[in-house]
Structure 1
């Protein structure tokens, strides 16, 4: 289905959509473009360097200056392991969220030790997001279900499901509808806010709502770009996604 057809269908069939919308950007120009849309969370990362590769910290400072008078919540991807620990202290206190990838964490102790090491230097105002990779075997990490349960025990309130291998497979392709629904139930049981990302497309987002699966936030990058996630943000694609959020218009 074309983007035009999808956006028209979304506008007619998805009234009352309640998800927050997270959009990832990698430059000042992309940030400026996205601020013209009803984005709830503006996320900063370097999509050419990995699933959660960080952008230059200088871009975080520019975002704080640009949004001093208000705007979407700000989120920083910090990368994996030691890189995330090194960068955590540089995240401005004005940011709402910081994300750390769990690759290589194959036990509960390992992932909780990582979260502790990253959370310690973060400003109290910045919420640490526990990331789970749908393709956890490829990332040598805990399954999404294990990450959710450990996040609740550790005291995190926010979790994100993403993909480690940016091969074109979406989180839905890997997990399937039954596990997506189960993760939603698990999040509700543990009172976690959860975001679904990982090669999401507009038709997947529409299907989530048609199936009435509670997802707190949809995280998007690749489907908004010409040339894939490392390509250029497209106003046409941003407009199509915006049409799925009629209550924001």
Structure 2
């Protein structure tokens, strides 16, 4: 079963996501970039609110230099979140990125590497991330104004990403300005979770979460999973 990840910016949104049955509460400040970080005090308040009922993930922010990753990861992890997400941003350098994450994974941190489809990240990086000891990997978009994940990678490419990640034992998610109508096609790829922000909001990703949109998303995933299981509706792509 594919889980629903909802990106929230504060305890009020986290409470709403919990009430509507979201599986993963993801902390992110949408006005601060693709993976904008919320303040540590907000992370702690959300961790206290969720109280272990759901996994809580958080981003470290949009960093341009991999040398800043270790301090940022330790700061976020100290708030008590379950997963820390780290983006491979343009110009960061893959070797330095993987080296920094490997060192942190060796210290016991549960890390999720976020790769960006709109920067044509080499998905051949997945074996190195698995060898580095990461918990998971996510394919997202960096420029939220440049189209959805499906505008940058076709279903076949996304299927190879999820399939490779699973073979390597990586927890695997898809995100990137996803629309609720994308759920059926993406579920056919068997990701561990689908991540949403803008589609769950009242008027775009920097506005407040909408209870109605959260409810629709929560309903659609099991409905579409049932169609896939019965062989009706959406079919898997090659």
TM tier, smaller: 0.7 to 0.9
Which residue number corresponds to residue 89 of structure 1? 74
Q: Looking at both structures, which has the greater relative contact order when contacts are Cα pairs under 8 Å and sequence separation is at least 6? A: 1
- Aligned-partner Cα distance in 1 for 2:83–2:175: 15
8 Å Cα contact 1:78-1:88 kept in structure 2: yes
Following TM superposition, the consecutive aligned residue runs of length 4 or more in structure 1 with deviations greater than 6 angstroms are none
- Aligned-partner Cα distance in 1 for 2:18–2:3: 15
- Aligned-partner Cα distance in 1 for 2:11–2:93: 38
Which residue number corresponds to residue 160 of structure 2? 182
- Aligned-partner Cα distance in 1 for 2:37–2:69: 9
Which residue number corresponds to residue 10 of structure 1? none
Q: Which runs of 5+ in 1 are unaligned?
A: 1-17
Aligned length: 219
| 1:45-194 → structure 2 map (5 Å cutoff) | 45-68=28-51, 70-79=52-61, 80=63, 81-82=66-67, 84-90=69-75, 91-92=77-78, 94-104=80-90, 107-116=93-102, 119=105, 124=108, 126-137=109-120, 142-143=121-122, 145-194=123-172
When normalised by structure 1's length, the TM-score is 0.80
- Aligned-partner Cα distance in 2 for 1:238–1:203: 13
Aligned-residue CA RMSD in angstroms?
A: 2.1
Q: Which runs of 5+ in 2 are unaligned?
A: 224-238
Residue 89 of structure 2 aligns to a residue whose secondary structure is coil
- Aligned-partner Cα distance in 2 for 1:214–1:116: 26
- Aligned-partner Cα distance in 2 for 1:190–1:35: 31
8 Å Cα contact 1:197-1:220 kept in structure 2: yes
8 Å Cα contact 1:21-1:41 kept in structure 2: yes
8 Å Cα contact 1:77-1:100 kept in structure 2: yes
Which residue number corresponds to residue 180 of structure 2? 202
1:116 Cα deviation (Å)?
A: 3.8
> Closer, same or farther in 2 for the Cα pair 1:53/1:106, shift >3 Å?
closer
8 Å Cα contact 2:57-2:85 kept in structure 1: yes
When normalised by structure 2's length, the TM-score is 0.84
